[in-house]
Amino acid sequence: MSSIGIGVIGYGYWGPNLARNIAELSGASIAGIADARNERRTIAGRRHPGVALAASAEELIANPLVDAVAIATPVNSHFELAMKALKAGKH
Protein backbone atom coordinates (compact mmCIF):
# COMPACT_ATOMS: atom_id res chain seq x y z
CA MET A 1 0.00 0.00 0.00
CA SER A 2 1.39 3.39 -0.92
CA SER A 3 1.28 6.31 1.46
CA ILE A 4 -1.11 9.19 0.81
CA GLY A 5 0.58 12.57 1.00
CA ILE A 6 -1.42 15.06 3.01
CA GLY A 7 -0.76 18.78 3.06
CA VAL A 8 -1.80 20.99 5.96
CA ILE A 9 -2.97 24.49 5.13
CA GLY A 10 -2.59 26.73 8.17
CA TYR A 11 -0.25 26.13 11.08
CA GLY A 12 -1.80 28.29 13.78
CA TYR A 13 -4.05 26.78 16.45
CA TRP A 14 -5.31 23.53 14.85
CA GLY A 15 -2.60 23.00 12.22
CA PRO A 16 0.02 21.57 14.60
CA ASN A 17 -2.56 19.10 15.97
CA LEU A 18 -3.56 17.98 12.48
CA ALA A 19 0.07 17.63 11.38
CA ARG A 20 0.93 15.57 14.47
CA ASN A 21 -2.02 13.25 13.92
CA ILE A 22 -1.22 12.84 10.23
CA ALA A 23 2.42 12.06 11.07
CA GLU A 24 1.23 9.26 13.35
CA LEU A 25 -1.06 7.62 10.77
CA SER A 26 0.03 4.48 8.99
CA GLY A 27 -0.51 4.80 5.26
CA ALA A 28 -0.21 8.59 5.30
CA SER A 29 2.52 11.19 5.55
CA ILE A 30 2.77 14.96 5.74
CA ALA A 31 3.61 16.08 2.22
CA GLY A 32 3.74 19.77 3.08
CA ILE A 33 2.67 22.53 5.42
CA ALA A 34 1.55 25.98 4.29
CA ASP A 35 1.25 29.13 6.34
CA ALA A 36 1.61 32.74 5.25
CA ARG A 37 3.47 33.58 8.47
CA ASN A 38 7.21 32.91 8.40
CA GLU A 39 7.37 32.30 12.17
CA ARG A 40 4.73 29.54 11.90
CA ARG A 41 6.62 27.91 8.99
CA THR A 42 9.79 28.00 11.12
CA ILE A 43 8.00 26.21 13.96
CA ALA A 44 6.52 23.68 11.51
CA GLY A 45 9.98 23.02 10.07
CA ARG A 46 11.42 22.36 13.51
CA ARG A 47 8.63 19.98 14.43
CA HIS A 48 8.54 18.22 11.05
CA PRO A 49 12.06 18.25 9.56
CA GLY A 50 12.23 17.51 5.86
CA VAL A 51 8.59 18.41 5.19
CA ALA A 52 8.07 20.91 2.36
CA LEU A 53 7.05 24.33 3.69
CA ALA A 54 5.03 26.78 1.60
CA ALA A 55 4.15 30.43 2.08
CA SER A 56 0.79 29.99 0.35
CA ALA A 57 -1.98 27.43 0.06
CA GLU A 58 -1.65 27.62 -3.72
CA GLU A 59 2.01 26.58 -3.55
CA LEU A 60 1.12 23.63 -1.31
CA ILE A 61 -1.79 22.57 -3.55
CA ALA A 62 0.49 22.68 -6.61
CA ASN A 63 2.96 20.27 -4.95
CA PRO A 64 2.70 16.93 -6.81
CA LEU A 65 3.45 15.04 -3.57
CA VAL A 66 0.24 16.38 -2.01
CA ASP A 67 -2.69 14.01 -2.63
CA ALA A 68 -5.07 15.54 -0.09
CA VAL A 69 -5.29 18.64 2.06
CA ALA A 70 -6.38 19.36 5.61
CA ILE A 71 -7.53 22.94 6.05
CA ALA A 72 -6.80 24.61 9.39
CA THR A 73 -7.55 28.23 8.60
CA PRO A 74 -10.32 30.62 9.63
CA VAL A 75 -13.71 29.20 8.62
CA ASN A 76 -14.45 31.98 6.13
CA SER A 77 -11.53 30.78 3.94
CA HIS A 78 -12.44 27.08 3.87
CA PHE A 79 -14.70 27.11 0.82
CA GLU A 80 -12.23 28.94 -1.40
CA LEU A 81 -9.31 26.74 -0.33
CA ALA A 82 -11.32 23.53 -0.64
CA MET A 83 -12.45 24.48 -4.15
CA LYS A 84 -8.87 25.26 -5.21
CA ALA A 85 -7.76 21.87 -3.90
CA LEU A 86 -10.62 20.01 -5.57
CA LYS A 87 -10.04 21.78 -8.91
CA ALA A 88 -6.39 20.70 -8.67
CA GLY A 89 -7.49 17.08 -8.22
CA LYS A 90 -6.72 16.86 -4.49
CA HIS A 91 -8.87 15.16 -1.89
What are the residue boundaries of the structural domains of the chain, listed by start? Answer: 4-87
pLDDT tens digits in sequence order for the chain, 91 residues long: 579 999 999 999 999 999 999 999 999 999 999 999 999 999 999 999 999 999 999 999 999 999 999 999 999 999 999 999 999 999 9
pLDDT of residue 2: 75
Give the domain 4-87 fold.
Rossmann fold (3.40.50)
The terminus-to-terminus CA distance of the chain in angstroms comes to 18
pLDDT of residue 53: 98
pLDDT of residue 1: 56
Buried b (16+ CB within 10 A) or exposed e, 23-32: eeeeebbbbb
